[in-house]
Structure 1
Amino acid sequence: MNKHPARSHSAAALLAALLLVSCVTRGLAQTTAAAKDDDKKTDVVQLDKLTVTTGYRSPKAIDQIPGAITLISPDEINNALLLSDDLTAVLARTVPGYAPATQQMQNTGETLRGRVALRLFDGISQTTPLREGSRNATFTDMDIVSQIEVINGPSAAEGIGAAGGIINYISKSPTKDGSEATLRTKFFGQGYSDSYGYRVGLNYTHKEGANDLIFGAAFEKRGAPYDANGRLQGLGASGSDSDTQSKNLFIKAGHSFGENNAQRLTLTVSQFRIEGMGHYVQLLGDRTQGITDSAIRGVPPGGRASFNDFSQYALAYKNDALFGGSLNVQAYKASQAMRFNPEVVAPDKADPVLAPLGVGIDQSEINSQKKGVRSSWSGKDVFGLTGLELTPGFDYMDETAQQLLALTGRTWVPPMNYTSKAPFAQASYTQGPVTVSGGVRHEGGTLQVDDYTTVYFAHNTFVKGGTLEYSSTLPNAGVIVRLPQNWSVFGSYSKGFSLPNVGIPLRNVNTPGQTVNGIVDLQAVIFDNKEGGVSWHGKQFSFSGSYYRSYSDLGSSLSVDPVTKDFILQRRPVLLRGLEFSGEYKMNAALKFTAIFSHTTGYTRTSDTGPLIRQQGMSNVSPDKLNLSSTWKFYPRASLTLDVEHLFSRDINIGAPGEEHTVGLTLAHLTATYSTKKWGDFSLGVENLLNHYYILPWAQIDQFQNYFAGRGRVISISHVVKF
């Protein structure tokens, strides 16, 4: 049996997809000629009109930021919704350094530039660095998201956890006076009776004078996905969105007041829950025979439904006329719970007192409770100096996280409380074509863990609790030069701060006499990041490229125990290097092409000492990728978009520890939309257009019950109407 069918078909799939683009382009000859007049009227999108708030707390023009920023637009999000509601699939297609999506609720290996990213929703952390369980990428409904801001590379600007960068999902806000309701429905499936699913969502906006409101509610039911050979896709041991239903409620109300309405209060409520319906059980395959994991109808043995349950509440105050600048204060509270699938107890969860080894059933659950305040003041032309911007601020965060074994009521990872107090200041000075920026953030944190006892697998070891203090001063500096003929270059240096996956070393203590204060694996991870890049923006064509080097002396990477298949935290130096490119070509007003490419390599030690010669694999760094996209607006109210994703093959550490072989793949996706004046927008989405069979990249490396084929062709029909 062919264990890697993707190898023989990837080139053919890429060729077919490119031929399709070519045929479409040739068919456009007359349209292109007719569009020349429109093309002459097409204006270049000026970068100074594109702004981000992530890392700056107030709008900052992209052309004044010395770094690689990816801004995922509303159009890109809407197009992604036609294919999938997965919050990470759009990242994999549009962000150069983001790893391929797992097609599961778990996001193991979905790194940004080789490291775990900090995920934010309206600036509030969805990440649980104290116990990173790779389940925090599913926390809201995509239809409530207006844009996604991605800060590539380690950053301390928004607190701990941004080892690979920051991904901030920005919610929608009312943009025009009056009331408007948007009803979005979608039906999708693969031709098998149990593969079908549907989604219904309603967004209502109202804006009148100083008051505005947005209300969003959505419900989605997902069927069981099949691979291209008609075999049910396996259920991820750490969580799957197969056979699930999700509910989302979002409310944001704002009121402006004061002179010229310069002050504003905004209250936000977000509640999201996705849970398994329990109609299937895992059917393990055989990796040696090329038989993928699958699923069969049945009731999960003795377990409770797996879920992600995320809620957050925030009150924000803004004053745009305070001492000549803008004050922003946000107080928030968030609750995040993630329950994994039930399983016959693996060695790391077993206890013969409760059930004979290999017989009992249990499932783990991570809980995190957060509260905090984010504050900043931003001023322009401060101290009477034209071009000088200054942003001082202070952040406070209190998080308590733990991991339970839900069915037996045991504590697997004890409650961990981390308190952070972080003052910061950021400044930039623009003089003509040059912008120089710099800043510093001081991370002062306290980690407290009470006395606890590990589970049977770790010999029921008593561990004396304790308190660890963290103190790091994290500078950043950069320069961007806007050259003639629309060229620009930048260089930057920054330090990032994160905690390791604290829960793993805590639960793995198996030697008597240990104390929390004496566990070396709990030391912070400090990242040094250097980056340089160039970009050019013309009327029809634009591109950008960057090179980065990121190093951590005491890194934090995961390996898999060959016996238990449990994750083990490794604290060894890590060096990452990478190249990223992106480009866009607007042939005319009707036709646009885009491309992104990324290449990342990561190295660490083979043992606790020695040179950095072991190349990091899929758990941390994904292979090179090239994504192409073309959008054709062939009629004033109709458009087609073709996306092609190509992941290159990779062979690393040949004949040495950590040897891995990853087979490349090529996938094509198609969306089509037709807008009517009276009945709304009708859309067709086809994921995996060529019905290509492949093994998911992260599943090609043996970890724990993760040998999955990717989804076959999925057809979605969507309708959006506004009233």
Structure 2
Amino acid sequence: MKFSVSRASLWVSLSLASGSALANPEQPDDMERIIISGSRVVESIDEVPASVTVITKQDIHDHLKVTPELQSLLAMYVPGMGPDTGSSSNTGQTLRGRAPLIMIDGVPQSTPLRNGSLGVKTLDPSAIERIEVIKGATSIFGNGAAGGIINYITRTPRASDGLEGEVSVSSRFSAVQPDESAGHRLEAAINGRADKWHYLLTASYEEYGVQRDAQGDILGLQYGLSDAITQNYFAKLGYNFDADKQLQVSYNFYRSQQKTDLGDTFDGTKDVAIHVPPALQKSGEPQGPDGNTNLMVKYTDLNIFANTQVTLDYYNQSIENVFFFSPNLANPQDGYSGGQSVIKSEKEGLRATFNSQLDFNNIEATFIYGLDALNDVTSQPLVDGRIWVPEMDMTNVAGFVQSKWVYNDDLIIKAGARREHITLEVDDYDTLRLCRQADQCSVPVAVTGGELDYDATTYNVAVKYQFTPFFHPFISYSQGADISDTGRLLRSATVTDITDVRTEASIIDNYEIGFTSQISPAIRLEMAAYRSTSELGTSTRFDPTTGIYLPVRAPQEIWGYEGVVNYRVSSTVDMSATYSYVEGKDTQNDVYLGGRTINPPKATFIANWRPTDEANLTLEYLYVGSRDRFDADNEGIYSTDQAPVSSYNVINLSGNYAFTSRWQGFFGIQNLLNEDYFPARAQAYTYGGYRVKGLGTTVNVGATYQF
């Protein structure tokens, strides 16, 4: 029996996993082939027996020329991810029919206890090196990962010594009706190295103009981006004690709020914004993330003991996501004509991850094990002081072990388990009396609080066999334990004791089979089919008596398939195409799930052409298919999120040209052919304020200076 481990490979693992490769400036350029999200350590994509999507730095830069919205980027590049909603909210944009956990460098950003669907917008894309997407339920990172993981890996300092940086300025405007639509964006970044220190600073500031559809009308303001102001400041500082030990501190500040003097109106077809007197302008506080912050501290020792490295993570997060003013939060009896909610979340966590790598003759073994501890305090009060969702104080402690066995470089077997203990404390509270109409009000209930305990052990096992270069089949089974959106259940409680509210954790079983194939050096193919079941899902039904959308906890089954083809046509042209299909049912009632959960079929095509060393053009094509699973009532009205979706097409074009080694100009055109369409969510939802069209042709032009 032989034991061996490569310190050099561990050092590269540390650099990538921490989001800083400065300690090894001459790392391989092919970083796209390395991922960390799925197993908490670095491994080759070819050794992962599951569906993985990596959005590279170049992909991000190409799409950033078109739009800075991460929803749009994920929809274009991730099979299984729902189409862009065209707004600041990702509600209705799921990953394989379930909510993903959003992370920055492995630190959770979502607020699963009260999922307000704003987690995608937590970081500006200019601060991101790459994005790793692991699909399917996983317990690797705990609560909230029912649909998988979307991990934003922040930029890495590149300077081998001294300082380098870049500054970029740009402006976006509507080509249909430019009036009032011009906005401006400034972003800058510096990174450097001094002795044992390395650092990175990025900053971005953007002021949007009004957003116009294909007819030149201003888009409706609910979750809108018109007149929004977005700021992001990210800093990373690292110190290498010696060849094995590194300490790194990161800080992120993000704010994106809509500050407008417009007002909403419905013209009979779509929700639009218009200029109105002050009394009719958008009510309440500016909507959007109000200065969300993250502090992350990471310590790594590559040789804590024989063949083992350890990573210790501490993180602290503060979130305030402000929502739009809604008349549905009215209570005329107490003098409230509406209301505006804000999700507040304070998280503090500590993680210890050990990674032992061993070599038993023809078997390479990796063991990943450790402990996670998290305290998450989340609530959703109204701005006027009323309590809609009471404060939920969750303590989560989990131990885990994951193993990977590679036999003769051909057979990969993964297996692991996670033991979860969650305690959730809620004080006594009263549900709100809310009135959709004067005679359509909910009945307030005094709920006795208490402590809820959840214990769950989840397992995963997967096998991949590299049969030939042309055929790498895999099969996997994974579980996730999820108590997501407990706040939605509490705010709609109709019982007097919290222990009678159906807050049980949902165990999600995810099955997947697929293969990857390198047909030739120029052609790569990926295919996967999946099935996901859960004991308790959370959909909604409208109660016409009270005017409240009530949660429905019933078993769910979601299934689908997806494929990816990458083709390098020549040294200057490469193309990729994807297709994804997902469907789902409430199996207890044998009815299909609505558009809040299930997205319509989606296909994408992306082509890159580099005619010269100085120039690059990128064409993006998005096709969203139709979905019609429900019947209207006798008056032709569809319920909640069950309206039919018709297909549409969107084409984007972007390019850049390097005038010198330091100066570069770029452009981007969103919706090149000015398609007049409603996004899938706007079609499926019957909730008020969501009938908002997609952007018409919008142009972005700018320049970058590097030093």
Same fold (TM over 0.5): yes
Once the two structures are TM-superposed, the CA of residue 349 in structure 1 deviates from its matched residue by 3.8
Q: How far 1:185 moved relative to its partner?
A: 1.3
- Residue by residue, what CA displacement relative to the aligned partner does 1:610-665 show, whole Å, maximum 9, x if unpaired? 4xx31122111111111011111111110111111001112213579965321000
Give the match for residue 303 of structure 1: 284
Preserved CA contact (<8 Å) 1:48 1:61: no
Amino acid of the structure 2 residue aligned with 1:534: F
| Structure 1 segments unaligned to the other structure (5+ residues) | 1-44
Counterpart selection for 1:69 from 38, 48, 52: 52
Distance 2:275 2:340 in 1: 20
Alignment-mate amino acid for residue 599 of structure 1: Y
Q: Which residue does the alignment assign to 2:317?
A: 334
In the alignment, structure 2 segments of 5+ residues that lack a partner are: 1-27, 435-441
1:426 aligned to 402, 408, 411, which one? Answer: 402
1:695 to 665, 673, 678: 678
1:133 counterpart residue number: 116
Q: TM-score, normalised by structure 1?
A: 0.88
Q: Which amino acid aligns with 1:320?
A: L
Query: What letter matches 2:565 in structure 1?
Result: G
Q: Give the share of equivalent positions with the same residue, in percent.
A: 27
Sort the Cα spacing of 1:65 and 1:455 in 2 relative to 1 into closer, same or farther, 3 A. Answer: same
Deviations 1:536-589 (A, max 9, x none): 112011110001010002122244556777543211111011101001111110
Deviations 1:354-376 (A, max 9, x none): 24xxxx24211110000001220
**Residue 389 of structure 1: CA displacement?**
0.6
Aligned residues of 1:130 and 1:401 also touching (Cα < 8 A): yes
What is the aligned counterpart of 1:364 among 338, 341, 353?
Answer: 341
Secondary structure (helix, strand or coil) at the match of 1:352 reads helix
- Which of 248, 252, 264 is the equivalent residue of 1:266? 248
In structure 2, C-alpha distance between the alignment counterparts of 1:291 and 1:185, rounded to whole Å: 33
Determine if the alignment matches structure 1 residue 231 to structure 2 residue 217.
yes
Cα contact 2:614–2:659 (8 A) shared by 1: yes
Counterpart in the other structure of 1:30: none
Where 1:102 maps in the other structure, the secondary structure is coil
The one-letter code sitting in structure 1 at the alignment partner of 2:203 is A
3-state DSSP of counterpart to 1:381: strand
Instruction: Report which stretch shifted further, 90-99 or 182-191.
Output: 182-191
> Counterpart in 2 of 1:706?
690
Q: Which residue of 1 aligns with 2:201?
A: 215
2:392 to 416, 430, 455: 416
Q: Distance in 1 between matches of 2:699 and 2:30?
A: 36
- Contact 1:302–1:361 (Cα < 8 Å) also in 2: no
Contact 1:598 1:625 in 2 (8 A): yes
1:198 counterpart = 2:175: no
State the distance in 2 between where 1:54 and 1:565 align: 42
CA distance in structure 2 between the aligned counterparts of 1:391 and 1:212, rounded to whole angstroms: 28
- Alpha-carbon shift at residue 456 of structure 1 (Å): 1.7
Q: CA deviation at 1:274?
A: 1.1
Counterpart contact for 2:135–2:149, Cα < 8 Å? yes
From 388, 398, 419, the counterpart of 2:375? 398
Aligned residue type for 1:713 = T
> C-alpha deviations, 1:406-463, integer Å up to 9, x for none?
0x21111100011100100000110121011100011110111001111123433211
Is the aligned partner of 1:673 residue 2:656?
A: yes
Q: CA RMSD in A?
A: 2.0
Counterpart residue identity of residue 418, structure 1:
M
The answer (yes or no) to whether the contact 1:186–1:200 under 8 Å persists in 2 is yes
Trace 1:490-529 onto structure 2 (pairs within 5 A): 490-511=474-495, 514-520=496-502, 522-529=503-510
> Aligned-pair distance for 1:108?
1.2
CA contact (8 A) 1:501 1:569 kept: no
2:555 alignment counterpart: 573
Contact 2:381 2:388 in 1 (8 A): yes
Pick the aligned partner of 2:444 from 460, 467, 470.
Answer: 460
2:36 match? 53
Counterpart code for 1:720: T
After superposition, the Cα gap between the structure-2 partners of 1:221 and 1:66, relative to the gap in structure 1 and judged at 3 Å, is same
Pick closer, same or farther for the CA change 1:115–1:625 going to 2, 3 Å: same
Select the structure that is richer in helix. Answer: 1
Looking at structure 2, the residues matched to 565 and 209 of structure 1 have their Cα atoms a distance apart, in angstroms, of 64
Instruction: Name the counterpart of 2:15.
Output: none
Counterpart for residue 320 of structure 1 = 302
Matched residues in 1 for 2:624 and 2:456: separation?
Answer: 38
Aligned length: 657
TM-aligned CA distance change 1:121 to 1:49, over 3 Å? closer
Q: Answer yes or no: is the 8 Å Cα contact 1:301–1:361 preserved in 2.
A: no
Q: 1:596 aligns with which of 546, 553, 578?
A: 578
Contact 2:187 2:202 in 1 (8 A): yes
After superposing the two structures, state which structure 1 stretch, 549-558 or 667-676, moved more: 549-558
Q: Is the 8 A contact 2:292 2:318 kept in 1?
A: yes
Other-structure match for 1:354: 335
Structure 1 pair 291–385 and aligned structure 2 pair: CA distance change class (3 A): closer
Equivalent of residue 249 in structure 1, options 218, 222, 233: 233
Q: Note if contact 1:671-1:686 (Cα within 8 Å) is conserved in structure 2.
A: yes
User: What amino acid is the match of 2:392?
Assistant: M
Residue of structure 1 equivalent to 2:597: 620
What corresponds to 1:159 in structure 2?
A: 142
Q: Equivalent residue of 2:62, what SS?
A: helix
Shift of 1:325: 1.8
2:643 corresponds in structure 1 to: 660
